[in-house]
Amino acid sequence: MNLSDLVDRALPPAAWAEGDNIPWDDPPFSERMLAWHLRQDSDAASRPSEKIDAQVRWLHEALLDGERTRVLDLACGPGLYTSRLARLGHECHGIDFAPAAVAHARGEAEREGLACSYELADVRNAAFGGRAAGEGFGLAMMISGQLNVFRRRQAAQMLRRAFQTLVPGGRLLLEPQRLATVVDGGNAGPSWYSAPEALFSSRPHLCLVENFWDGEARVSTQRYLIVDAATAEVTRYAVSNEAYSDEEYESLVSAAGFEDVRLLPSLIGVEDESQSVNLAITARKPEA
């Protein structure tokens, strides 16, 4: 795109028409994003270590009753949860399509001899079998608000596949975005920054951000326009998020076959003010 394409851009954009997501799977972007994941002074990409420790403790003690199991982490990123779960005795398989994140997770597992395997793949079409396909998982999880970035039918299809990969009595853990998070995000208005280098480019650039809420489709879209300072070339990214009410989350999970669907305020089971953008959902695959 050039600057006149930018001026002539669609207002508002149709949901998903300008792309599915920010470029997690682009190797240089994923290197830059990994650095953000590992930063302890910002929770823009990942939470601080103590927060993840507390969430993993809840997951291990309250959700899994301290029993070791096989865990499938969908969109696992750099393995911050799988590594910790493996240190507690669980065997983990993570799937993510960000190359630097998966390389980091693999490196950590190798260095520490953790029972973790990782797969560089798109969760929308990856087989969820993992290393020991056929044995089944005791827990399948997708956290950090990721469920919403998939179209409704894709989310429903992934939940059905997660269901199939679990053993009878196996658990599901989701951490999707609250309805208000998606609506307010879409109504947030525009903003911009300039930087000599940042997440979207390693060159001096402007980053223009626009947000849109489509009340009819119930989808928010965030559009990023990256203007290169030297060439004025414009690169566009967009990510859309589906908005669900609590009742819709319950029916989505139940429709995949799960029972005992519970909506909780956060990944530590109780209100956590610092994590109020998402909620947690747990459910169980029926025994036999």
Q: How far is the CB of 3 from ligand SAM (least distance, A)?
A: 30
Least distance to ligand SAM from the beta carbon of 115, Å? 18
Task: Name the one residue in this structure whose structure tokens are 């993840």.
Answer: 52
Q: How far is the CB of 80 from ligand SAM (least distance, A)?
A: 5
Q: Which pair of structure tokens corresponds to residue 214?
A: 């489509």
Distance CA 22, CA 15 (A): 14
Q: How far is the CB of 76 from ligand SAM (least distance, A)?
A: 5
What number of other Cβ atoms are within 10 A of residue 236's Cβ?
Answer: 16
Nearer to ligand SAM, 234 or 252 (CB): 252
| Cβ density class 72-96: b for 16+ within 10 Å, e for less | bbbbbbbbbbbbbbbeeebbbbbbb
d(CA 38, CA 19): 26
* Sites of contact with ligand SAM (CB under 6 A): 21, 24, 46, 75-77, 80, 96-98, 101, 122-124, 143-144, 146
| 171 torsion bin: left (phi>0), alpha (psi -120 to 50), beta (else) | beta
What are the DSSP calls for 17-46, one per residue?
TT-SSS-TTSHHHHHHHHHHHH-SS--SSS
- Residue number, 220 or 234, with CB nearest to ligand SAM: 220
Of 2 and 160, which CB lies nearer to ligand SAM in the complex structure? Answer: 160
Return the number of the residue (201 or 275) whose C-beta is nearest ligand SAM.
275
Residue whose C-beta lies closest to ligand SAM: 77
Q: How many CB atoms lie within 10 A of CB 106?
A: 18
Minimum distance from residue 98 beta carbon to ligand SAM (Å): 3
Nearest to ligand SAM of 34, 234 (CB atom): 34
Rounded to a whole number of angstroms, the minimum distance from the CB of residue 163 to ligand SAM is 18
Which C-beta is closer to ligand SAM: that of 123 or that of 227? Answer: 123
